[in-house]
Structure 1
Amino acid sequence: MQYLQAVISEAMRLYPPVSVNWTMCQSDDVLHDGTLIKKGMFVVFSAYYIGRMESIWVKDCLEFKLERWLDGEGAFRNESPYRYPVFHA
């Protein structure tokens, strides 16, 4: 089942079921990079794009590689829900 979980995770990284998500800010907020988000503004992010970012998934980001999800022993290892936002953490 470890291998199956890795296959599903890698497939969902490249082809997320909800590729773009948006939300409206309920109160003024500041993102971790210092960006000010005012109440009523929309914030949009693309899980499709994040799953293909070289800065996150390294140079082979467009390749289907199960090794991203399996440790040296072949056991499945989870990623941070913020690095892997397919479930929109």
Structure 2
Amino acid sequence: MAVKTVKEKVPVIVLTTSYRLEGDMHVVPGGRLLDEINRERGFIPLTNATLFDPVSGQPVDTLEFIAVNKELVLMVAPVNEAPSK
């Protein structure tokens, strides 16, 4: 029987080579965002994500879940510490 790990939602902005995403990453309570990003896997899972056009800044789509390929990620920042748009 699998044990479910309880995680906390951390609102983030993810900038990729093609889009800007705003959504929730999930980290273990008391864990660091960096630890989640550096896990041994090729994708960063986000929930409740909004996909934005990088040029116009307009929303393109809203997704319950998306797995973002780490090779395409330029930046990940918590919403409260993200650079100004």
TM-score calculated relative to the size of structure 1: 0.25
More strand by share: 2
Q: TM-score, normalised by structure 2?
A: 0.25
Decide which structure has greater helix share. 1
